[in-house]
Amino acid sequence: MLNIEMFVSTTLRGSAKGTGKVMYTLRMKKGEEQYYEKPPEIGKADGTANRLILWSICRALERMPSERMILIYMENTYIASVINQGWLEIWERNDWKNSRGE
């Protein structure tokens, strides 16, 4: 299986809304020591750091031709927790509603 590494960074920090930039790049290992790196993709949008990071991850997944193992490097601990602790599966199982039913 082709392993892919994704590196994500944004100019926004914390939960404050604003206009920020986000950049990600993908690096794929093709052989024992050979790497192929795609040119970085940069986006600019209004929102939060979380929103920009999620946009980057979705955009990167759209560019992949089929299922792959992807390792994501980022500074955003909230999004990392969402992914690593399986929150998405829990939210989907709860019909995307929070504990207050919203």
Q: For the chain, what are the domain ranges?
A: 3-76
pLDDT at 1: 61
The model carries a pTM of 0.73
The superfamily CATH assigns to domain 3-76 is Ribonuclease H-like superfamily/Ribonuclease H (3.30.420.10)
pLDDT at 73: 92
Residue with tokens 């031709």: 65
b/e map 1-24, b = 16+ CB within 10 Å: eeebbbbbbbebeeeeeeebebeb
pLDDT at 97: 84
> What is the bridge-based pairing of β-strands 3-10 and 69-73?
parallel
> pLDDT tens track of the chain, all 102 residues?
677 888 998 888 877 788 888 888 888 877 677 777 888 888 888 888 888 888 888 888 887 767 778 889 998 888 899 889 988 898 889 998 877 888
Residue with tokens 């929103």: 51
Token couple for 18 = 């604003």
> What is the bridge-based pairing of β-strands 18-29 and 41-47?
antiparallel
